A and B are shown apart, each in its own frame.
Chain A
Amino acid sequence: MNNLAELEMSIGVIAAEGRAAIEKAGSPDECEQLRVALLGRKGRVTTLFAEMRNFSDGDRPKAGLLLNQLRGQLESQLEAKGTELSSARLQDQLIAEGIDVTLPGRPAHLGHLHIITQTLREIYAIFQQMGYQIVQTPEVETDEMNFQLLNFPPDHPAREMQSTFLTKQEGVILRTHTSPGQIRVMRENCPEPVRAILPGKCYRYEQITPRSEIQFEQVEGIAVGEQITMADLKGVLTEFARQMFGDATKIKLRGSYFPFTEPSIEVDVTCILCKGKGCRICKGSGWLEILGSGMVHPVVLKNGGYDPEKYSGFAFGMGPARIAMLKYQIEDIRLLLGNDLRFLKQF
């Protein structure tokens, strides 16, 4: 072959036959066979390229151009077909691999921390960021630490507020509150200022009912320094209540009595359930009693080693059980020590 007309005719035939064959191809393998037959070393297009040497110098560029066009055309048709075929195959495969996504997942084995542990940690976090240190003190205490040094003389009627378990060892009891830790932490730190929270188990001789337990957790807080006022106490407790129960929470201070604080107050917070409107939990008052507090009694400061004319301080005590019970509307305190996994695994 040596003329353009003939070449153009051949190109037309190859282009038409090639396109038809490519369109018919059913698999990537067939595409590959067609590529070899058309564009391979002995392929039809390659063979035509070989004919170019028979062309005149004038026609050769034109012939090359036409052949290159043909090759380009076929290459892109083959590629398009190949892509189409492999994506269809992938599609089929993906469809075949479908699973039931609604089946439950393979369980991840995560345990549960006790609700009281979780509540304690919330309390710790709030006070730690205010510079309070966590200190653990003994659960079995001397009568002296638990009562006398806290300004409860022997046989004082205030002791009736805290019925006590006695051990067979004279003068050794189960602590009825975390307050003896006040004396311990003051004696440890005197004359440095103190800011500490003292968590731990306490025990009281009471009938076990849905509302009272013989064993419960308490968190004591104490701050002692040279410029600590009751307004500071109010500030700290306001901040605690806000962080623990939500930004809108307000506190209310009511006069009260504890032998180891003077003045003594009870602290109420706006009901966490009704936000102060009045509901069943707060018995319609809009307020919940949450902790007892006050300025450390001068006698207690002195027993802790501080000069009450120079130093002052405040202390407070709260029950994580009460907080958790209010928060989760738990109506029976006995669930907390019942260790029923159906209860524990809810938290």
Chain B
Amino acid sequence: MLVPIRWLKEYVEIPVSVEELAHRLTMAGVEVASIEKIPSGEVDWKDIIVGQIVAVERHPNADRLSIAKVNCGDGVLTSVTGAPNIKVGMKDLKVAVAKLGARIMNAYATEPTTPVTIQVQAATLRGVDSQVVLCSEKELGLSDDHTDVMLLEKDATVGAALVDLLGDQVLEIELTPNLGRCLSVIGIAREVAALTGSKLHIKSPKWKTSDEPSEGQAKIEILDDALCPRYSAALIKGVKIKEAPFWMRYRLMLAGMRPINSIVDISNYVMLEWGQPLHAFDYDKLVGRAGGKHPGIIIRRAQAGEKLVTLDKIERQLTDEMLMICDEKGPIALAGVMGGLETEVSGSTKNILLESANFHAINNRKTAMALLLPSEASQRYTRGVPPESTELGAMRAADLMRQISRGTIARGLLDVYPKPRQPKIISLPIREVKRLLGIEMSAKEISEILKRLEFKSRKVKENLEVSVPYYRLDVEIPADLIEEVARVIGYDRLPSTLMSDRLPPQKRNRSQEMEERVRDLLAGMGLTEVVNYSLTNLASLSKLDPSGKMASGAFVELANPISTERSVMRSTLMNGLLESVAVNQRHQDHIGIFEVGRIFLSNPESHDGLPDEPRRIGIALAGSQEEASWTEPSQFVDFYALTGAIEALFSRLGLSKAVHISTQHPTFHPGRSAEIRLGNLKLGVLGEAHPEVAAKFDLRGRVYLAELDLETLIAHATEIKCYEPLPRFPGIRQDIAVVVDLNLPAKRIEDLIRREGGELLRELTLFDVYEGKPLPDGKKSLAYALDYRADERTLKDEEAQAIHLRIQSAVEKELSAQVRGAGG
């Protein structure tokens, strides 16, 4: 909403500076986004004055140019102009004259390099001296229009500084959806009065009508009074359609609307003034449609199959959701959205049926949105227009049409208002102010503040009975009145207090703490946290399976994606992580990243239709083992870098019992993938990305990837229950090297050693894995250090030796292994 200050001042005194006013409005919730100065900062209108054209002559050497003689108050000066609205023989026009040295906008500044403004200089155009410039709107910095010279008010004083006539400031106000009442200059004036304590000068519209009654000349019938609570219309006869007066056009322009003709401009002007949208029908066209009889206006929903060609010449398909203004022949306008082309006011219109109606906010919004027709009218209806204002708007506009367009108003408003609204009265307990705002206020103080906003109140026992002004559709409950009180006194006047209310019992959120702990542990291992979009797409997800198979149905898909790239909620973290690896491989050798976030799995069983949102942990490693350093040779990450990180994580979460076993998973290298299990529970998968998967994600080299289920991890994580005492007696260490088949999993050897070692075997550490010469082909050697120890005594060598031999023979027998270097 653009509000020119001079216009605003017509209804309210402004006792403070415009900046201060903007500040107060903003603090009270009516946000002034900017103050536009007229003229703008680029031109200051210095040396631009009101001039009167005394004569226009033909240019002797150019057909397109003419020579205007302009009385500037201190003499008559010459201007050579090519403006089409300055024609030979014209006189008495008032124009804006830029004198020598004045700075005006450069109308031909099309390139970024050309200066935005220029200074008026004496020039000779085709042999004729031009001393001044007759300015276009563009040259004055008012609009982009450079066709015509801007014509000023006829009674403007010759020689007066233009800035005194047209200088202004315009508030650009951003309105939240509750501020429908501020979509009018009068609405803003009421706010100004309340916030500055100054007086309002709003005159209730009056009109002068003829003796001819309107009744009988048109009949109004509302068939759906839920969608159209009130429909008023005035009949104005014998109008002459021409240009609206300068002052009105100028105000419309400053308020951001393009002047069209006096009838349309008056409708728009009154809408901006009072907030009541209006629509003018050509009455004779309605009579024509009615076959020469008095027209009947019917307000009803569209019927299936009905169509209407709107003002913009587009044929609209109507649905029965849409409220229409119709006559007996069919629709003539989309109620509160756009008029129909057929009954539109044209240059030859003589008689006007002026609609001033009230339409249902949400229905109006739905229609405007369905047809993609956001209009000034619809903007107001969707935020709520009070039914009381149909009468005010109709009277005000009709009377302006009488004065400006020389019409006569038929006596009486045609008005259908089936269920007049009862005045709203809210009972406000006085203690509510203290209870909600925390400040003590007397009934009198509250009542006085409300009075500034035109709320009347009366104390009844412990309450104030507050009657709400008709235009305050947003105020319905006591809390709304509390807000009014608070914003008028100013939120900055509220004290800051410490909460005195009872502190609720404090509970820890262990699940969230664990999530944060996982992040800390992974970052502690040198991994960097990434956050991906939760929104992905099926094509990206299907890259995780080179065979192209991808389960369907479990996804949460968007009905209105912003792009195909972000159309499905992720069901895994893996594709996002691989994309992050690819992005970083362009400039990083070492990549170690993780993400902790939710995935989304649709759950047909959920009672509210919501998907499951389990949290997952994703890890990806690629490139060199560590960041490049002179201290160690660079090594590539491998499978064991990934399992090492995961083992460390599990150990810190008290999940040391988890194991990883070889598995098959489409995303992974079949020989380098594992599933992590805790008993029968699956905790996650990990491995080297399958070369075909890596290729689909444009990855370089081998990439290692894991996805773990955080929810299961948290559910089974254990805290340390009891510490283990430090050993009091020495132990015995013995090594064993086992030569086995190359494909025998190490886990089987370890399990066997532990089984045979029993409780005296306290530690088992693999310290070497070897294959190649001198070992035979197809064999590998694994060397373990075994620590034997008893808690309550010094273990004897013989005891350790006995166990060690038992292990040796079991390994030899059960794994067909060869044992080397049975040390001790």
Name A residues whose Cβ lies closer than 8 Å to a Cβ of B.
Answer: 103-104, 106-107, 109-114, 116-117, 121, 131, 133-136, 138-142, 153-158, 160-161, 165-172, 174, 189, 192-195, 201, 203, 205-208, 214-215, 223, 225-232, 234-236, 238, 252-257, 262-265, 295, 297-298, 308, 312, 336-342, 344-345
Contact = CB atoms under 8 A, between A and B. Distances in A.
Interface in B572-630: 580, 583-584, 587-588, 591-594, 597-598, 600, 602, 608-611, 613, 626-627, 629-630
A160 B529 CA distance: 34
Contacts of B530: 114, 339, 344
B526 interface: yes
A34 to B, nearest CB: 46
B529 A231 contact: no
A229 B177 contact: no
Contact of A231 (B480, B497, B504, B629): B497
A344 B610 CA distance: 33
A189 B529 contact: no
B537 interface: no
Interface stretch (B151-159, B484-492, B737-745): B484-492
B318 to A, nearest CB: 18
B177 A161 contact: yes
Contacts of B529: 111-114, 117, 344
A135 B26 CA distance: 34
Given A103-B630, A138-B610, A254-B27, A131 B504 contact: yes
A235 B365 contact: no
Given A189-B504, A231-B497, A298-B479, A158 B560 contact: no
Interface stretch (B406-414, B517-525, B678-686): B517-525
15 contacts: A111-B523, A114-B530, A131-B503, A133-B509, A136-B509, A157-B382, A167-B556, A172-B611, A207-B562, A214-B535, A228-B499, A255-B491, A256-B29, A263-B486, A342-B588
B496 A235 contact: yes
Given A111-B594, A140-B611, A226-B502, 13 more contacts: A134-B512, A139-B534, A139-B600, A155-B365, A169-B602, A192-B505, A201-B597, A214-B562, A254-B31, A298-B479, A337-B531, A339-B583, A344-B529
Given A111-B523, A342-B587, A264 B483 contact: yes
Contacts of B629: 104, 106-107
A156 B592 CA distance: 47
User: Which label, helix, strand, loop or mixed, suits the secondary structure of the B interface?
Assistant: loop
A295 to B, nearest CB: 6
Given A166-B560, A263-B487, A231 B507 contact: no
A129 B554 CA distance: 41
A290 to B, nearest CB: 15
**Contact-residue size bin, chain B (C-beta under 8 Å from the other chain):** 35 or more
A155 B559 contact: no
Interface string B464-483: 00000000000001011011
A195 B26 CA distance: 30
B560 A230 contact: no
Nearest to B591: A341
Contact of B588 (A135, A167, A265, A341): A341
A203 B27 contact: no
A172 B555 CA distance: 13
Given A193-B501, A339-B593, A134 B531 contact: no
B434 to A, nearest CB: 8
B719 interface: no
B631 interface: yes
Contacts of B499: 223, 225, 228, 232, 235-236
Given A166-B559, A231-B439, A344-B529, A265 B496 contact: no
Contact of A169 (B436, B504, B609): B609
Given A139-B534, A166-B559, A169-B609, A234 B479 contact: no
A101 to B, nearest CB: 14
B495 interface: yes
Given A113-B519, A230-B494, A298 B509 contact: no
B552 interface: no
A169 B601 CA distance: 13
A194 B438 contact: no
B631 A106 contact: yes
Given A107-B627, A113-B519, A225 B502 contact: yes
Contact of B494 (A203, A234, A262): A234
A140 B613 contact: yes
B419 interface: no
Nearest to A130: B499
A98 to B, nearest CB: 18
Given A134-B512, A158-B177, A337-B531, A230 B487 contact: no
Nearest to B26: A254
B697 to A, nearest CB: 14
Interface string B328-366: 000000000000000000000000000000000110011
B435 interface: yes
B610 A232 contact: no
B76 to A, nearest CB: 47
A265 B493 CA distance: 14
Contacts of A153: 362
Contacts of A264: 29, 483
A255 B516 contact: no
A168 B176 CA distance: 30
A234 B497 CA distance: 7
B194 interface: no
Interface string B529-564: 111111100000000000000000000111111100
A149 to B, nearest CB: 12
A169 B583 CA distance: 33
A104 B630 contact: yes
Given A138-B613, A168-B557, A265-B491, A157 B177 contact: yes
A341 B540 CA distance: 22
Nearest to B487: A255
Nearest to B559: A166
A139 B483 contact: no
Nearest to B491: A253
Nearest to B361: A157
B526 A111 contact: yes
Given A229-B438, A263-B486, A263-B487, A235 B497 contact: yes
A277 B482 CA distance: 33
Nearest to A120: B516
Contacts of A342: 587-588
Contact of A254 (B362, B435, B491): B491
Contacts of B592: 111
A262 B27 CA distance: 16
Contact of B362 (A134, A156, A195): A156
